[in-house]
Amino acid sequence: MPMLPSLPRASGIRKLAQVSFGGYNHNLYAGDGEIYDMRNMTGDFAPVLSPRPPRLLVRELARPNGIFAKDGLMYADGTDLYYNGEIVGEVEDSAKTFGELGAYIVVLPDKVCYNILTGEFAHIEASVASAEGGVSFGNGLIYGIAAERNTLAAPDIDFNDFFKERDAVTISGCTVHPENNKSPIIREISEDGHSLVFYENTFALDGTAEAPVAYTEPGAITVSRDMPDLDFLCSHENRLWGCAGDEIFASKLGDAFNWYSFDGLASDSWSVAVGSEGDFTGCAAYAGYPVFFKEGAIYKVFGTEPDNFSASASFSTGLQDGSGGSLAVAGDILFYLSRNGVMSYSGGMPAQKYEAFGGELHSGAVAGSDRRKYYVSMLDGAGAPHLFAYDTERGLWHREDESRAVGFAYCGGNLHMLCDDGKLWIVGSAMGPPDGAAPEGRFEWHAEFADFSEQLPDKKGVTKFYLRLEAEPGTEVELHIRYDSVGGWESVWRQAATQKRSFTAAIIPRRADHFRLRLSGTGGCKVYGLARELYVGSTARSLRGAQ
């Protein structure tokens, strides 16, 4: 009687090794040994698996409102503005946006600036109003030569307290000659400070064209130097650039105080309304151009002076609204958070850098760079914060922890991270940390690997694990396993501090379609290899029924 064919019932013992560890890959398709989830890991020693270096605590702020670096650290703590640890001015208790031009650091929305060389703290905007009937318009001198219709005089005002020569000012309140409500440029301020001198024929006067006569405005007249209400700032080619709503603005050349100086010169201010959908969401100076972002467009401003400035748009994946702080350059590439995820921009079409996040969308990103790594703190769909680091040299993402940053600043070779709890940290590898910086205490880290299925439909039974690692004094490393994506984690091995060596963890075999491993610890550790010994069951044993 012929025998029926039978299925093979075993395929022997296999030993498989993981000796090269990658980065964060939070996708369902993550393969055997890839890291599906992690906390406080780094790629500094890749392909060796290791937790990040400890941070250094520089100081703690009461109400952190922002941070910036220019030859030193500036940060806002409540209403106090600090530079290099000293209070240099008073500001509103609100989130800050910073920019720089020459020796000045500009702070928004306060519209103030600080000169790091002279220590001057000044308001960019200035305004003075006369008493009723306190301002007269008339003839005068300019550069010592008689001139007509060029002088504004106010005996009760010292204009030197508010303005300087070549400031563009706005005059308002004129009723006798409303045409004198305009924005001319100051050419001189009289020695006594009571008169502003402009070019000839700036104003309308009483009398005739041939014989103009001075007159006095009966109401109060206001003279002001204004700055647009900008949302974002950057610096490029000795100008400050900013954006608000649908408009792009550029300051006067080398002058952070003047944004409405239109004198027909190459040094003039400049502005344009681009007329596309949505408001601007951020800006940065990159690759030789000021670059402005909307959610669905990227604008580069070409040209060398106002006469030839032009904004050119590419309608592509732009910067997410609310993530203007995510712009940062790492590895000579500009990174930012879009509505779809993190993008990289090299001057052409942006490229996706969010594949590792497995479709998880983020918002409210704030980022910084140590020139090699891009650090970004952002919120997940549930509003929980996450700090990620992207290594541009290795092309790897790593998740650090739940830090919620309000700003980053690179200063003295160190990347500083100011968190919403007021703690100011140095992150990454510190270079010459400041005196008094306190090392972070021990922190928990873990790496959860993706499913080990060996890419086979059969049941597997794991029998042993082999680990090669070294751990610092005080460190404890633990290995957990979970079968078939159900139940909790089971501890299968634990080891205290040790020099570099190999370990064997034998476990009671349990057949499963797949399993996951989770390696965790507190303190410094380097994992050089992780091998597993298992047997693969037969096809018969992978069918329905008793297992």
For 196, 230, 418, 429, 433, the CA distances from 60, given in Å and listed in that order, are 48, 29, 9, 20, 16
Number of domains present in the structure of the chain: 2
Residue 305 vs residue 432, higher pLDDT: 305
Residue 399 domain-assigned?
no
Residue 187: predicted pLDDT: 98
Q: Characterise 201 by phi-psi region: left (phi > 0), alpha (psi -120 to 50), beta (else).
A: left
Rg of the chain over CA atoms, in angstroms? 32
When pLDDT is averaged across residues 515-540 and rounded to a whole number, the result is 87
Q: Is residue 329 part of a domain?
A: no
- Distance CA(244)–CA(250), nearest Å, equals 12
On whether residue 215 sits in a domain, the answer given is: yes
What is the maximum alpha-carbon separation in the chain?
A: 133
User: Is the model more confident about 487 or about 129?
Assistant: 129
Q: Are 345 and 13 in contact (CB under 8 A)?
A: no
Q: Which two tokens stand for residue 137?
A: 């318009």
pLDDT at 6: 46
Query: Which tens digit of pLDDT belongs to each residue from 110-126?
Result: 999 999 999 999 999 99
Q: Is residue 472 part of a domain?
A: yes
- pLDDT higher at 496 or 186: 186
**Dihedral sign, Cα of residue 294, residue 296, residue 297, residue 298:** positive
Distances in Å between the alpha carbon of 96 and those of 63, 163, 231, 371, 537?
A: 12, 25, 10, 23, 62
**Is 514 part of a structural domain of the chain?**
yes
User: Percent of the chain scored above 70 by pLDDT?
Assistant: 96
User: Is the residue at 145 inside a domain?
Assistant: yes
Can you tell me whether residue 248 is helix, strand or coil? strand
Per-residue model confidence (pLDDT) at position 31: 79
Q: Which of 222, 242, 269 delimits the end of a domain?
A: 222
Specify the pLDDT at position 538.
58
Are 75 and 418 in contact by the 8 Å Cβ rule? The answer is: yes
In angstroms, the CA 439 to CA 427 distance is 11
pLDDT for 430 equals: 87
| Mean pLDDT value of segment 373-382 | 98
- Which of 213-222, 228-237, 415-424, 531-540 is predicted least confidently? 531-540
| pLDDT value, residue 498 | 84
Which domain, by its residues, includes 450?
Answer: 10-51+446-542
Gap between the Cα atoms of 378 and 395, Å rounded: 20
How far is the C-alpha of 100 from the C-alpha of 241, rounded, in Å?
Answer: 10
pLDDT of 434: 86
CATH number for the domain spanning 38: value is 2.60.120.340
Residue 482 lies in a domain: yes
pLDDT in tens, 200-225: 999 999 999 999 999 999 999 999 99
403 and 377 Cβ atoms separated by less than 8 Å: yes
Q: Is the pLDDT of residue 458 over 90?
A: no
**Distance between CA atoms of residues 273 and 295, nearest Å:** 16
With a cut of 70, say whether residue 96 has pLDDT above it: yes
Per the domain annotation, does 291 fall within a domain?
no
Place 461 in a pLDDT band, splitting at 50, 70 and 90: confident
Residue 11 pLDDT exceeds 80: no
- Structure tokens, 350: 């942006």
According to the model, what pLDDT value does residue 7 have? 44
Q: Which residues pair with 285 in a beta bridge?
A: 290
112 φ/ψ angles, rounded to the nearest 5 degrees: -120, 165
For residues 113-141, average pLDDT: 97
Higher pLDDT, 394 or 474: 394
Banded pLDDT at 312 (limits 50, 70, 90): very high
Residue with structure tokens 């003047």?
258
* Half-sphere CA count of 297, side-chain side, radius 13 A: 17
User: For residue 453, what are the CA distances in angstroms to 35, 147, 530?
Assistant: 14, 90, 16
pLDDT bin (cut points 50, 70, 90) of residue 474 is confident
pLDDT of residue 541: 45
- Indicate if the pLDDT at residue 3 is higher than 70: no
pLDDT band at 450 (very low <50, low <70, confident <90, very high): very high
Distance of CA 397 to the CA centre of its chain: 17
Per-residue burial over 201-228, b if 16 or more Cβ lie within 10 Å, else e, is: ebbbbeeeeeebebbebeeebbbbbbbb
Assess whether pLDDT exceeds 70 at residue 340: yes
Residue 512's contacts (CB-CB under 8 Å, 6 or more residues apart) are: 459, 460, 461, 483, 484
Q: What is the mean pLDDT of the chain?
A: 93
Choose one of 173, 200, 222: the last residue of a domain: 222
Last residue of a domain, one of 222, 253, 284: 222
d(CA 448, CA 452): 11
Band (pLDDT 50/70/90 cuts) for residue 406 is very high
- Give mean pLDDT, residues 423-442: 91
pLDDT at position 545: 38
Helix H or strand E segment including 243: strand 239-244
Half-sphere exposure of 123 (CA within 13 A, CB side): 13
> pTM value?
0.92
